[in-house]
């Protein structure tokens, strides 16, 4: 049997789902023509990754989390691009104040080759030192570090040896920015 | 002017996408009887608003705005800026009060001096990290950080090529990320 609704509170609310249309109005409409229905798009993680749609949408936590994850990862570890800074022997001068993030350095060391001559490092907003590799040569343990000077906007490549020496026979040939 | 004399089925009303400035017909169950119909405006959120993060109003967003917001914020949130957590800590260990946020940290040592900030990473698991190196006298010095997740303590040592382990003195500690 159908019963009349006496109060709007008799209508039980339910979670909004993608087929629902919302009763809406625009205050700018002419008198008597203010009501309509608006469809509200359901956002998806694929849509966020694409980023093309400007339609206002409703998202679930799951879609937002997955969308953010897929967008964020390539930003932190994307395709690297070479910077136009100036390498002079052990010191590289950034073309401008570098944006914090993940970078790569390509280096060489004339006494002995490291297993790899490319290493990742972080650019941060304070002067810092980061160990990027170690190798044994001529009976010595050699450890390579990068020193970022935030005042001079430089990156210095240093190789310390267990013989107590700090080698200058090293060079930075290229710096690449990984994070977008 | 709209014809108000003819009753329509709901399905006869045209539907168009929700756009900013639309007000929704709503009611609040906590309102008193006969006062339950209202209109709620839902504003469109922006990437700038998300980056600012100070507004608590419920909003709707588009794919485009959300992607822009993540692109503007993600790398900066992990690597941008540094915040002083504690200064002149002293001793050889950093005892975090509770499980620290995962991510990058910078620590400065008073002893040995001259190394600049050293980077270590909290991953939530026990880790051993070589966080710095230098030469002192005729010895190669490795600065090693060991994080114990059960005690949330980072202990830092100065390990030298002469076979000795020497005490460091910890200075300031920074959290990396905006």
The interface predicted TM-score (ipTM) is 0.79
Q: Report residue A13: phi and psi, to 5°.
A: -70, 145
User: Which residue among A8, A30, A125 places its CB closest to the CB of B27?
Assistant: A8
Mean pLDDT confidence for A55-82: 93
Q: For A109-123, A128-142, B1-15, B30-44, which range has the lowest pLDDT when averaged over its residues?
A: B1-15
pLDDT tens digits, residue range B11-33? 777 889 998 888 888 888 777 77
Give the rounded distance of the alpha carbon of A16 from its chain centre.
33
The residue of chain B nearest to residue A128, with distances taken between CA atoms, is B117
CA distance B71 to chain A (A): 7
* CA-closest candidate to residue A165, choices A146, A143, A132: A143
pLDDT tens digits, residue range B33-84? 777 778 888 899 999 999 999 999 999 999 999 999 999 999 999 999 999 9
A55, pLDDT greater than 70? yes
Q: A interface mutation test: which of B11, B18, B176 has the most A CBs within 10 A?
A: B18
User: Which residue among A54, A99, A161 places its CB closest to the CB of B64?
Assistant: A54
pLDDT tens digits, residue range A102-118? 999 999 887 777 778 89
Is A9 in contact with B104 (Cβ distance < 8 A)?
no
Instruction: Report the first-to-last Cα separation within chain B, whole angstroms.
Output: 54
Is A43 in contact with B16 (Cβ distance < 8 A)?
no
pTM for this predicted structure: 0.80
User: Distances in Å between the alpha carbon of A41 and those of A56, B18, B44?
Assistant: 7, 8, 13
Mean pLDDT confidence for A120-129: 96
Is B138 in contact with A164 (Cβ distance < 8 A)?
yes
Sign of the dihedral through C-alpha A159, A133, A140, A109: negative
pLDDT band at B112 (very low <50, low <70, confident <90, very high): very high
Q: Report residue A109: phi and psi, to 5°.
A: -140, 115
Distance CA A32, CA B164 (A): 88
Q: B interface mutation test: which of A6, A35, A160, A163 has the most B CBs within 10 A?
A: A160
| SS3 per residue for A130-165 | EEEEEEEECCEEEEEEEEEECCCCEEEEEEEECCCC
A8, pLDDT greater than 80? no
Considering A161-165, B13-17, B170-174, the range whose residues carry the highest mean pLDDT is B170-174
pLDDT band at B98 (very low <50, low <70, confident <90, very high): confident
The residue of chain A nearest to residue B120, with distances taken between CA atoms, is A130
pLDDT of residue A161: 92
pLDDT of residue B2: 58
Contacts of A39 in chain B (CB under 8 A): 15-18
What three-state secondary structure class fits B47? helix
The angle formed by the CA atoms of residues B59, A42 and B25, to the nearest 5 degrees, is: 55
A10 DSSP 8-state letter:
G
> Which residues of B, range 83-102, sit inside 8 Å of A by Cβ?
none
pLDDT of residue B12: 79
């Amino acid at each position: 049997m159908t019963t009349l609704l006496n109060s709007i509170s008799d209508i039980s609310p339910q979670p909004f789902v993608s087929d629902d249309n919302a009763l809406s109005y625009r205050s700018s409409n002419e008198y008597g023509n203010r009501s309509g229905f608006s469809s509200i798009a359901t956002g998806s993680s694929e849509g966020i990754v694409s980023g093309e749609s400007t339609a206002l949408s409703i998202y679930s936590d799951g879609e937002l989390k997955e969308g953010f994850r897929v967008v964020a990862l390539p930003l932190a570890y994307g395709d690297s691009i070479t910077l136009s800074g100036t390498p002079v022997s052990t010191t590289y001068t950034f073309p401008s104040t570098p944006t914090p993030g993940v970078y790569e350095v390509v280096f060489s060391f004339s006494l002995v080759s490291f297993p790899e001559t490319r290493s990742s490092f972080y650019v941060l907003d304070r002067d810092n030192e980061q160990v990027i590799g170690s190798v044994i040569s001529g009976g010595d343990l050699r450890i390579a570090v990068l020193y970022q000077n935030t005042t001079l906007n430089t990156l210095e490549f240093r190789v310390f040896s267990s013989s107590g020496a700090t080698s200058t026979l090293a060079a930075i040939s290229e710096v690449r920015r990984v994070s977008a | 002017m709209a014809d108000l004399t003819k009753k329509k089925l709901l399905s006869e009303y045209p539907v168009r996408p929700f756009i900013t400035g639309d007000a929704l017909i709503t009611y609040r169950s906590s309102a008193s009887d006969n006062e339950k119909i209202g209109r709620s405006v839902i504003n469109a959120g922006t990437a700038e608003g998300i980056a600012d993060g100070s507004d608590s109003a419920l909003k709707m967003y588009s794919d485009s705005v959300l992607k822009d917001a993540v692109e503007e914020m993600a790398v900066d949130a992990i690597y941008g800026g540094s915040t002083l957590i504690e200064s002149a800590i002293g001793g050889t260990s950093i005892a975090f009060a509770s499980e620290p946020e995962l991510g990058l940290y910078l620590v400065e040592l008073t002893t040995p001096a001259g190394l600049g900030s050293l980077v270590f990473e909290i991953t939530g698991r026990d880790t051993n990290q070589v966080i710095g190196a230098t030469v002192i006298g005729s010895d190669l010095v490795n600065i090693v950080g060991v994080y114990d997740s059960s005690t949330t303590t980072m202990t830092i040592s100065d390990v030298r090529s002469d076979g000795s382990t020497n005490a460091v003195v910890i200075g300031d500690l920074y959290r990396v990320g905006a």
